[in-house]
Amino acid sequence: MASGERIFVQAIRRYCATHGIALDVRAGGWLLAMRSRAKRHFAFGYDIGLNSAIAHRLANDKSATAEVLALEGVPCVPHHLFLNPSMGAHVAGPDWQQAMLALLRQNPQGVVVKPNEGTSGRAVFKVTDRDALDRAVTEVFASSLGLVIAPYVEIEDEVRVILLAGQPMLVYRKERPQVVGDGVHTLRELATAAGHDRGLSELGTREVNAIVPKGEQRILNWRHNLDAGARPVLMEDGEVRAACAKLAVEAADTIGITFASIDVVRVDGAWRVLEINSGVMMEALAKLHPELVQATYDAALDRVFGAYR
């Protein structure tokens, strides 16, 4: 097994070895070609190949996902699409800048700017004024053909549901890094001692250099992304887990997706869909629960090869 190989690739290797399926790993592990005695199948990126083309396209497009969910009355966070002006005024439209500023005025608490496609929280910006908006838009458009602007909301909790054919396979919270004050050390010192200092760049200088009162908690990142330091915590059976799973199933049914990870957030006490991912990435969770991750990928691959082995 190659050093540094993604969990996704390792899981498929194990499945293929156990079930006598030939595996050819190409493109640095991003293209996986599998062949059983009667079936050829491909996985690409983090997509195991169970979803229809249209479901895959909808899930990978944050704006389209939000539009479809809203059409069907599924609670979700709105995402407004803006196309890169480099494609021409006939594509981006003549008034895209004014429309962005209008969204900023309508949301005095701020907005979130991010690529329309993509995961892991990269190039995601919270902005509250025009200068910050201009910087964020410039950076996202430098590498993306489209971006979305969503209202910034105070997320009380974020939960990821891994669904397979309408069944919640795994449900876990994304617990953001935090520290507890001791009345002596600054937020920067506490975060550094806990190994959580990488997210401090998004906080103000005054805040990170202030002494945290004894016993007070400080969350170190407004984002819940696992790549930004959040930790996956499996949820036990109960009302909250059931509510999250129910909403995720409703969202999956709405876009017709079979295997997906669906992020739901609690805002003002109510749950909404944040986004749907057609590629199911469980790298962070596998470090804590490798057997559950393997079992989930096994179940998905059983749906691919079960009738052909």
Q: If pLDDT is split at 50, 70 and 90, which confidence band does 33 have?
A: very high
Contact 101, 132 (CB under 8 A): no
CATH number of 52-76+154-176+221-279: 3.30.470.20
Q: According to CATH, where is 3.30.470.20 located in the chain?
A: 52-76+154-176+221-279
> What residues form DSSP beta bridges with 82?
147
Please determine, for residue 17, whether its predicted confidence score (pLDDT) is greater than 70: yes
pLDDT tens string 185-224: 777 777 777 666 666 666 667 777 777 777 777 666 655 4
Q: According to CATH, where is 3.30.1490.20 located in the chain?
A: 78-152
Q: Which helix (H) or strand (E) holds 179?
A: strand 178-180
Contact 299, 305 (CB under 8 A): no
Q: Which helix (H) or strand (E) holds 162?
A: strand 157-164
pLDDT tens string 278-305: 999 999 999 999 999 999 999 999 999 9
Angle between helix 96-106 and 130-141 (nearest 10): 130
State residue 304's pLDDT score.
Answer: 93
55-79 mean pLDDT: 96
CATH 3.30.1490.20 fits 78-152, yes or no: yes
Angle at 264 between CA 304 and CA 282, to 5 degrees: 45
259-285 mean pLDDT: 95
Please determine, for residue 63, whether its predicted confidence score (pLDDT) is greater than 90: yes
Q: If pLDDT is split at 50, 70 and 90, which confidence band does 171 have?
A: very high
How far is Cα 298 from Cα 292, in angstroms, rounded to an integer?
A: 10
Q: Which helix (H) or strand (E) holds 270?
A: strand 270-277
Over pLDDT 90: what percentage of the chain? 69
How far is Cα 162 from Cα 281, in angstroms, rounded to an integer?
A: 10
State residue 120's pLDDT score.
Answer: 58
Contact 62, 79 (CB under 8 A): yes
CA 64 to chain centre: 16
**175 residue type, one letter:** E
**Mean pLDDT highest for which of 87-91, 221-225, 237-241?**
237-241
Please determine, for residue 308, whether its predicted confidence score (pLDDT) is greater than 70: no
Contact 135, 129 (CB under 8 A): no
DSSP 32: E
The mean pLDDT of the chain is 88
State residue 201's pLDDT score.
Answer: 61
Q: Which helix (H) or strand (E) holds 80?
A: strand 80-83
